[in-house]
C-alpha cells in the first residue's frame, strides 16, 4: 500500500513540475510573439501607443487564454517535437495578437500593419 502512495506522490510531483515547465515555456513563447510584433510595429513606424498595446497586460491576458485554446487543438497535439510545438504556438499567438491590435488602431495604422505582416510572411522569390 505504501508503494502505491509513493507512486502517487511521484506522479503528482512530476505532473506539477511539468505543469510549471509548460507555464514557463508558454510565457517565453508569449514574450517571443509580443517581441516579434513590437519589432514590426517599430520597423513600420507605427505610433508608440501601438507598441505599448503589444506589451500591455490586456494583450498578455488574451495570449495566455489563447495558449490553452491552441494547446487543445488536435493538430497541435500531433506535433511531436518541442520546437514544432513552440513554433506553432508562437505563430498562433502572433496572429491572435495582430488581430487584436488591428481592432485598436486607426485605419491608416491598420493598413500599414496588414501590409507589414504580409511582407513578413511573403515567401522568398515572390513579390
What is the torsional sign of CA 100, 43, 116, 126?
A: negative
Dump pLDDT digits (tens) for 47-79. 999 999 999 999 999 999 998 888 888 888 888
Distance of CA 45 to the CA centre of its chain: 23
* The predicted structure's pLDDT at residue 1: 47
On the question of pLDDT at 125 being above 90, the answer is no
For residue 83, what are the CA distances in angstroms to 12, 29, 33, 79?
A: 26, 11, 15, 9
Percentage, residues of the chain above pLDDT 70: 85
* The predicted structure's pLDDT at residue 123: 66
Return the C-alpha cell found at 52: 505599448
* The predicted structure's pLDDT at residue 115: 96
Amino acid at each position: 500500500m505504501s508503494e502505491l502512495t509513493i507512486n502517487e506522490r511521484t506522479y503528482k510531483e512530476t505532473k506539477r513540475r511539468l505543469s510549471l515547465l509548460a507555464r514557463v515555456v508558454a510565457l517565453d513563447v508569449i514574450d517571443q510573439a509580443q517581441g516579434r510584433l513590437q519589432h514590426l510595429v517599430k520597423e513600420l513606424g507605427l505610433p508608440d501607443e501601438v507598441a505599448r498595446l503589444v506589451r500591455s497586460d490586456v494583450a498578455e491576458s488574451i495570449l495566455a487564454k489563447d495558449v490553452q485554446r491552441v494547446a487543445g487543438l488536435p493538430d497541435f497535439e500531433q506535433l511531436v517535437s518541442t520546437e514544432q510545438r513552440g513554433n506553432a504556438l508562437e505563430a498562433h499567438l502572433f496572429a491572435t495578437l495582430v488581430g487584436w491590435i488591428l481592432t485598436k488602431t486607426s485605419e491608416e495604422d491598420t493598413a500599414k500593419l496588414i501590409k507589414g505582416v504580409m511582407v513578413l510572411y511573403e515567401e522568398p522569390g515572390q513579390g
